Structure 1
Amino acid sequence: MIMSRIEARRDEDTVAAGPLVDRLLGGLPAEAVLTDPDVTASYANDMASFCPAGSPAVVVLPRTVEQVQHVMRTATELRVPVVPQGARTGLSGAANATDGCIVLSLTRMDRILEIDPVNRIAVVEPGVINAALSRAVAEHGLAYPPDPSSWEMCTIGGNIGTASGGLCCVKYGVTAEYVLGLDVVLADGRLLTTGRRTVKGVAGYDLTRLFVGSEGSLGIVVRAVLALRPKPPEQLVLAAEFASGAAASDAVCRIMAGGHVPSLLELMDRTTVKAVNDMARMGLPESTEALLLAAFDTTDPAADLAAVGALCEEAGATQVVPAEDAAESEMLLQARRMSLVALEAVKGTTMIDDVCVPRSRLGELIEGVERISEKHGLTIGVVAHAGDGNTHPTVCFDASDPDESRRARESFDEIMALGLELGGTITGEHGVGVLKKEWLAREAGPVSMEMQRAVKLAFDPLSILNPGKLF
């Protein structure tokens, strides 16, 4: 019943672009309203493959909360769908436009409003770039730990929308753990404030967490209160080579079971290492089947790396090489950060999976991906936040070859099925968007989906906020 009501509202008549634009211009400056079809087409999609995208009627770029409220009031009055966007670095189609929609790009709302060293919080607008925030708080001796690989481009609003993770999650956690409070413009234009500025707070339902990961389907985040931490010491990195992904996974299990707390524990398979070398001439060892990177930002990182190096050797590492200094450590981290871009260069197009499994089953997933790769005759590189069990098997294919594209999609689905079989989840940090809607239903089950749809209807009764995403 709930879903039929949502679908019925989507099928209501839409308004012509002319009246819509006129109404928007009533509360927005002309330079904030884009209607040139060539320009609006450039806002149609994010970085995901195999995700349909429609043609926006208009793109708006507000700078104030009041302007966002005006957009949502207009959209509600005229029954026009709204697709919120950040930097469009997402990998699930969550920012893809629908036909006739308003694309609400929040990139111009990019101010850091406050940095409070005493309470260790930052207050920011959604268009702030992740790396820009990190650098700004570092000047106060603080750190904002969530650091997706796209941190030089992605926005805090987008990070919140997808509940993104990053390389340092194994020690410091994901975005959801750092969002204390939000200002959110609801579908009808009202402004909702959630959460707090304090360390503790349990008053009422946790609406803040509800919005984190909602992919713009419940409201438009226009301000965020973020928790900060003291800036840690510079980390040192160790690189360990293994003859198999299973051996590298065994090392991960030994490290975590041993009580170690690395600031980073990342895995790159042979395909990924070669792709990075081909792109950037990094000089990484291509003789290895799996390269494990471990880092510590403790007061004595050398001692921690030595202990972890010994565990890697017990697991069968063929070589263990600790970085000599911060510069060498940064080079290894840069290699890891460019992995997905390098894999895309192998064939021109990639489908990036985001399967997360219990750490103890990481080796099984890697072996299963190898079988799927051989079965479909495709190059599939695996890069992983190994300390979290969060893997990114990346299918490389030629999008101009219909048969290869078909095999890519089939292999993608088989990897997601494998992840569920191993007790995992279809997405650890990239979100559901368009790409994984069917898989969300499989993972969550009918009762959970009914409750999620009820929540959606409560916040967005006309179903105008990012329709077609999640379910």
Structure 2
Amino acid sequence: MTILEELDLPAERVLTDPDVTSSLAHDEAEWAPAGRPLAVVRAITPEEVQAVVRACFAHSVPVVARGAGTGLSGGANAVDGCVVLALDRMDRVLEIDPLERLAVVQPGVVNDDLRAAVAEEGLWYPPDPASSPWSTIGGNVATNAGGLCCVKYGVTRDYVLGLQVVTGTGELVRLGRRTAKGVAGYDLAGLMVGSEGTLGIVTEVTVKLRPLPPPAITVAGYFSSIVDAGEAVAASAAAGLTPAALELVDKHCLEAVDDWRNMGLSVEAEVVLLARLDEPGAAGERAAARMVECFEGAGATFAVQSTDEAESEALFAARRLAYPALERLGPVLTEDVCVPKAQVPEMLARIERTAQRHSITIANIAHAGDGNLHPLLIVDHGDEAARARAQRAFDQIVADALALGGTVTGEHGVGLLKKPGLTAELGPAVLDLHRSVKHALDPRGILNPGKIF
């Protein structure tokens, strides 16, 4: 009996047509290689996920989980002969508990759909990656996604209370808790967050929630230099300000969004910083005024507390649309380095020099408030020489981030693109610890093989 016969699932949920499976064999990391899967299985229950993993375990067949496929590191890319386990149809919000301030969801729930559902109860799920209108909670858990609000409110791991997971041997287990506190045993739920499907396949997530925040005040600053914008980020941190969001968007990004969506965003600036401050009342007004001072002190050509809510929303929308807008210009190689806030100006300066040295266009967006930078390296279609230069620039940016005390990935994950960088960051002894954990939970190495290390 073949592995597909053993699965005994309805035919419409087991896809083998290569034209169909190829479209589900990769994420949005255009430069990461992808293999040819044996099949794609669209599971709809945890028990079906378990059955797939047990069959793959018995036949030593790799299994690669995917959600919406919005990842940017190749973490959900197929390997030859694998079964791709698509979880996007497991998309129900199972429970919202206003008293305990938690929600229980399936992995295919879209981030923004969860946020909308809990908002009806006056609650809020803070992690908000730029892909929140499309990315799923399971994928957010797999990469420990962050987002615009993480500078103040934290990343996905800070909100995961418990998980239901299928292990590499096909066991369906529950990890974590529903209570506000709990220290019974190792934090295996926390271990799963950010593991990119290499330690287990998530079939249910219990997340904690917060009350909806008050309306935010937006401060916008225009800068003629990306380094000056970086100095403003460092200055705001030194002033003790903790904005709900502090985002950097350069002119390349704004122009690309404007050309695509005709949003009227042309500004007389090379770089825009957008801050949101959500302290209530007079405290929020004081924080906004101090943020304006920090922007002006760092050399802003224009800095103001916005009174036009529609304009503010348009600028933040442009921040979210920057990546797909730039993709229209040519293949994009996306960085995701994170450095200490004090090093943001120097890191931005190094990125600028790297672009000049390698004759590559590098657009910049960033969760600047926590030092998480997303340089976007853009080349023309079919220009292989430029592609090679972009890869060298990518490697230089990783090396510079590590040299400044940073990390190779803040939220996109290691996947395939950052494997050399992870080796440089962690070193042999720590990598061996990772491999030991992997072997304990996935003894046959069938879960997303070849990713991370």
Q: Do the structures match in fold with TM over 0.5?
A: yes
Residue 377 (structure 1) aligned with residue 359 (structure 2): yes
Could you tell me which residue of structure 2 aligns to residue 52 of structure 1?
33
Structure 1 counterpart SS, 2:88: coil
> Which of 402, 408, 420 does residue 426 from structure 1 map onto?
408
Q: CA deviation at 1:285?
A: 4.5
Could you tell me which residue of structure 1 aligns to residue 307 of structure 2?
324
Amino acid at match of 1:200: K
Q: Is the 8 A contact 2:96 2:118 kept in 1?
A: yes
Could you tell me which residue of structure 2 aligns to residue 309 of structure 1?
292
Structure 1 counterpart SS, 2:446: coil
Could you tell me which residue of structure 1 aligns to residue 348 of structure 2?
366
Q: CA deviation at 1:275?
A: 2.1
Q: TM-score, normalised by structure 1?
A: 0.94
Aligned mates of 1:366, 1:332 — CA distance in 2: 21
Q: After superposition, what is the alpha-carbon deviation per residue over 1:253-278, rounded to whole angstroms, capped at 9, x for unaligned? A: 22112122211100112322322222
Aligned mates of 2:404, 2:242 — CA distance in 1: 24
Could you tell me which residue of structure 2 aligns to residue 7 of structure 1?
none
What does 1:84-163 correspond to in 2, within 5 Å? 84-163=65-144
RMSD: 1.3
Q: Is the 8 A contact 1:186 1:220 kept in 2?
A: yes
Q: TM-score, normalised by structure 2?
A: 0.97
Aligned mates of 2:451, 2:421 — CA distance in 1: 12
Q: After superposition, what is the alpha-carbon deviation per residue over 1:341-360, rounded to whole angstroms, capped at 9, x for unaligned? A: 222223x2100000100010
Aligned mates of 2:271, 2:322 — CA distance in 1: 13
Compare 125-134 and 50-59 and name the one that shifted more. 50-59
Residue 283 (structure 1) aligned with residue 287 (structure 2): no
Q: Is the 8 A contact 1:236 1:329 kept in 2?
A: no
Could you tell me which residue of structure 2 aligns to residue 3 of structure 1?
none
Amino acid at match of 2:404: L
What does 1:45-444 correspond to in 2, within 5 Å? 45-300=26-281, 301-346=284-329, 348-444=330-426
Gaps of 5+ in 1: 1-17
Structure 2 counterpart SS, 1:338: helix
Q: Is the 8 A contact 1:236 1:326 kept in 2?
A: no
Q: After superposition, what is the alpha-carbon deviation per residue over 1:183-223, rounded to whole angstroms, capped at 9, x for unaligned? A: 10112211121111111111111101110000000111001
Compare 175-184 and 261-270 and name the one that shifted more. 261-270
Aligned mates of 1:459, 1:422 — CA distance in 2: 34
Residue 452 (structure 1) aligned with residue 438 (structure 2): no
Structure 2 counterpart SS, 1:241: strand
Q: CA deviation at 1:329?
A: 2.3
Compare 148-157 and 398-407 and name the one that shifted more. 398-407
Could you tell me which residue of structure 2 aligns to residue 22 of structure 1?
5
What does 1:28-39 correspond to in 2, within 5 Å? 28-39=9-20
Figure out how many residues of one structure are paired with residues of the other and give that number: 451
Aligned mates of 1:159, 1:399 — CA distance in 2: 30
Q: Is the 8 A contact 1:399 1:405 kept in 2?
A: no
Aligned mates of 2:423, 2:294 — CA distance in 1: 40
Q: CA deviation at 1:407?
A: 0.9
Aligned mates of 1:285, 1:236 — CA distance in 2: 22
Aligned mates of 2:374, 2:365 — CA distance in 1: 5
Aligned mates of 1:345, 1:363 — CA distance in 2: 29
Q: CA deviation at 1:73?
A: 0.8
Compare 271-280 and 311-320 and name the one that shifted more. 271-280
Q: CA deviation at 1:325?
A: 4.2
Q: Is the 8 A contact 1:235 1:326 kept in 2?
A: no
Aligned mates of 1:399, 1:415 — CA distance in 2: 22
Amino acid at match of 1:120: R
Amino acid at match of 2:55: T
Q: CA deviation at 1:309?
A: 0.8
Q: Is the 8 A contact 2:141 2:194 kept in 1?
A: yes
Amino acid at match of 1:383: I
Q: Is the 8 A contact 1:237 1:332 kept in 2?
A: no
Amino acid at match of 2:314: M
Aligned mates of 1:130, 1:393 — CA distance in 2: 24
Aligned mates of 1:84, 1:264 — CA distance in 2: 31
Structure 2 counterpart SS, 1:42: helix
Aligned mates of 1:151, 1:434 — CA distance in 2: 22
Aligned mates of 1:429, 1:310 — CA distance in 2: 30
Q: Is the 8 A contact 1:130 1:156 kept in 2?
A: yes
Distance 1:325 1:138, change over 3 A: farther
Q: Is the 8 A contact 2:169 2:441 kept in 1?
A: no
Q: CA deviation at 1:158?
A: 0.1
Structure 2 counterpart SS, 1:382: strand
Amino acid at match of 2:312: S
